[in-house]
Amino acid sequence: MEFQMTQETRINHTAQARAYHFLKNEICAGRLSASEMVDAQSISKQLQMSRVPVREAIFQLIAEGFLSVLPNRRVIVTQLGPDKIEEIFEMRAVLEGLAARRASYYVNAETIVNLRFILQRMRLAERQPDVWVQLHAEFHSVLCTLAGYPSLLAEIQRLHSMIQPYLRLYYTAYERLEMKTAEHQILVDALQSGDGALIEAKMRDHISTAGRELANYSRELGVKRA
């Protein structure tokens, strides 16, 4: 028998999506910080909806790694240690390297112009970490979308979202737009060359380098707090 979605089911599904996007945006923006408790009841009051869709949204975010469950069943924002940050960046390096190589097969002049325009906006976003991080995500999304692999893109975006709060902390602390030896201009030049092996190598090096630097910053921060 074919399933037909009732009006109540549609409402709950819409409410769950709203709760999910709200919580995820709060985490990625750093407004819900690492290790902060997430309470379904308070979130449901804030969003003026029942606890059921909020709990479902929380379960989804736990499955995606954004939230964690403690032994006492309390739910907190996942805290990424230096080793986990490096792991995520190494995963991104492999996946985005593949995406970049495939993107080189489909790149055109319009895409290059778009990426250079984003780079220009990134340069103008000096001392605006929130703006820079959003443009940074847009740059990588535009490039990886060219690969034409939706599942690959979704996983890359999930991993990218997980480290956004840590990128904000880094850029706020150092007040500089680019990590050393991880400039994005190199990626655009490699992509424009049409050499798939070259852009894959440059992308993997770019992300791995950024990951090591962010992980080292996280270690230094931990030492200072100790």
Q: pLDDT in tens for each of the 226 residues of the chain?
A: 343 444 444 445 689 999 999 999 999 888 999 999 999 999 999 999 999 999 999 999 999 999 999 999 999 999 999 999 999 999 999 999 999 999 999 999 999 999 999 999 988 887 788 888 889 899 999 999 999 999 999 999 999 999 988 888 887 777 655 554 458 999 999 999 999 999 999 999 999 999 999 999 888 876 454 4
CATH of residue 110's domain is 1.20.120.530
Q: What is the pLDDT of residue 133?
A: 84
Tokens of 80: 């990424």
CB atoms within 10 A of CB 195: 14
Name residue 172's amino acid.
T
Tell me: do 40 and 150 sit in the same domain.
no
Tell me: do 67 and 28 sit in the same domain.
yes
Q: What is the pLDDT of residue 139?
A: 94
| pTM listed for this prediction | 0.82
Q: Is residue 103 one of the residues assigned to a domain?
A: yes
d(CA 209, CA 206): 5
**What is the total count of domains within the chain?**
2
Q: Is residue 1 one of the residues assigned to a domain?
A: no
Q: What is the pLDDT of residue 128?
A: 82
Cα 197 to its chain centre, rounded Å, is: 25
Please report the beta strands in the chain, taking only residues with DSSP state E, as ranges in sequence order. 67-69, 75-77
Q: 162 near 65, Cβ under 8 Å?
A: yes
Tell me: do 72 and 27 sit in the same domain.
yes
Hey, which residues does 69 pair with through a beta bridge? 75
Q: What is the pLDDT of residue 183?
A: 81
**What three-state secondary structure class fits 125?**
coil
Domain that holds residue 66: 7-77
Last-in-domain residue among 77, 110, 125: 77
